[in-house]
Structure 1
Amino acid sequence: MKIILQQAQGEITEKKSRFIATLCPVQSQEEAEQFIAACKKKYWDARHNCSAYVIGENNEIMHSSDDGEPSGTAGRPMLSVLTGQDVHNVAAVVTRYFGGVLLGTGGLVRAYQGAVSEALLHAEIRQQLLMQELMLTAEYTDVGKIQYLLSQAGFRTADTEYGAKVLFHVLVPAGEEDAAIKLLTEKTNGKVEITKGKLRNETCE
Structure 2
Amino acid sequence: MTTPFLTIANASQTELVIKKSRFICSLQRISSEEDAQNFIKEVQAANRKANHNCFAYLVGDQDQVQRESDNGEPSGTAGVPILESLQMAKLHNVVAVVTRYFGGIKLGAGGLIRAYSNVTTEAVHRAGVVQRIKQLQIAITVSYRQHDALLYYLKEHQLAVSNEDYGVNVTTNVFINEATADDTIAQLQNRFNHQLEIQKMGSHFHEIPYNPAE
**Which TM-score band (shorter chain)?**
0.7 to 0.9
Matches within 5 A, 1:29-48: 29-48=33-52
Is 1:127 the equivalent of 2:130? Answer: yes
Query: Where do 5+ consecutive residues of structure 2 fail to align?
Result: 1-5
**Pick aligned residue for 1:177 from 171, 174, 181:** 181
Q: Secondary structure at the match of 1:176?
A: helix
TM-score, normalised relative to structure 2: 0.79
Is contact 1:10–1:120 with CA below 8 Å preserved after alignment? no
The answer for the alignment partner of 1:80 in structure 2 is 84
Is contact 1:52–1:63 with CA below 8 Å preserved after alignment? yes
The answer for the alignment partner of 1:105 in structure 2 is 109
Percent identity reads 33
Report the CA distance shift for 1:84/1:148 in structure 2 as closer, same or farther (over 3 A).
Answer: same
Q: Which amino acid in the other structure matches residue 208 of structure 2?
A: T
Q: Which amino acid in the other structure matches residue 200 of structure 1?
A: F
Alignment size in residue pairs: 203
The answer for the alignment partner of 1:63 in structure 2 is 67
**Pick aligned residue for 2:16 from 7, 11, 16:** 11
Matches within 5 A, 1:187-198: 187-188=191-192, 189=194, 191-198=196-203
**CA positional deviation for 1:53:** 1.9
Q: Deviation per CA, 1:121-175, whole angstroms, max 9, x where unpaired?
A: 5x14143341413322414345344324323333121211234653322122342
Q: Provide the C-alpha distance between the structure 1 equivalents of 2:97 and 2:155, rounded to a whole number of angstroms.
A: 43
Q: Provide the C-alpha distance between the structure 1 equivalents of 2:156 and 2:32, rounded to a whole number of angstroms.
A: 38
**CA-atom RMSD in angstroms:** 2.7
Report the CA distance shift for 1:24/1:31 in structure 2 as closer, same or farther (over 3 A).
Answer: same
TM-score, normalised relative to structure 1: 0.82
Deviates more, 1:70-79 or 1:191-200: 191-200
Is contact 1:10–1:116 with CA below 8 Å preserved after alignment? no
Report the CA distance shift for 1:101/1:60 in structure 2 as closer, same or farther (over 3 A).
Answer: same
